Amino acid sequence: MRLYVRANDIVVHLKQIEMIAIWRSAGPEARSQTDRQILNGQQELLESGETLVVENDYLILSLPVRARFRGGAATVSDPAGKTRRADLPLIKALARAHQWRKMLLSGEAASIDALAQRFNLDRGHVGLTLNLASLSPTLARAVIRGEQPPGLSLNRLLRGEIPLSWRDQEAAFLSSSAGCK
């Protein structure tokens, strides 16, 4: 993989064979599809201005962005000017929550206490972090894309300020910020 960050776009060169193998293994319907069908399906997922083209043995993914550097901080905006800001601690906590939930469900860890001991963490922190596994898919997607609303912070979520219902979560966090879906 090669990644090029330019003033108006990010271009990623991916090995075609490897990417098609990954996409083919993603679901049972993809296993019976041709390479062209898989590529067409991935191209349909692209947003306006994004491109995915085949060039020799590579797939070239181009994402339009605008990079701005101010005071030592960098932000990346889409062409419409909407800033994307990846909250790495929140993304990491979300990933941990899903990993720990999977460990509990599979029996790899017997309890929250066992997880806390295994990772040398406070039991309360593990329990609060596990709550992130119940974050609505819409909000989780926004976090991963760096499009989370300003009020959706790791601190707020770990304080227990997250409704149980996905609809209530989205109403609470998206009311101040449109376009996270």
Domain-embedded: residue 76:
no
Give every strand in the sheet of 9-15, ordered side by side.
2-5, 9-15, 58-64, 51-55
pLDDT at 114 (0 to 100) = 94
Per-residue pLDDT, 178: 42
Burial of 13 per CB tally in 10 Å (0-12, 13-18, 19+): middle
How many domains is the chain partitioned into structurally? 2
Are residues 62 and 30 located together in one domain of the fold? yes
- 123 and 163 in a single domain? The answer is yes
3-state SS class at 132: helix
Report phi then psi at 163, rounded to 5. -65, 155
Instruction: For residues 63 and 97, state if they share a domain.
Output: no
Residues 104 and 129 in one domain: yes
What domain range is 158 assigned to? 85-174
Closest CA to 92 of 154, 139, 148, 35: 154
Same domain, 24 and 97: no
User: Is residue 98 located within the same domain as residue 58?
Assistant: no
pLDDT along the chain (181 residues), means of 10: 78 89 80 89 83 92 73 59 70 90 92 94 93 88 81 84 84 63 42
89 with 64, same domain?
Answer: no
Does residue 79 fall inside a structural domain? no
Domain contains 181: no
| Residue keyed to tokens 């319907």 | 29
pLDDT for residue 116: 94
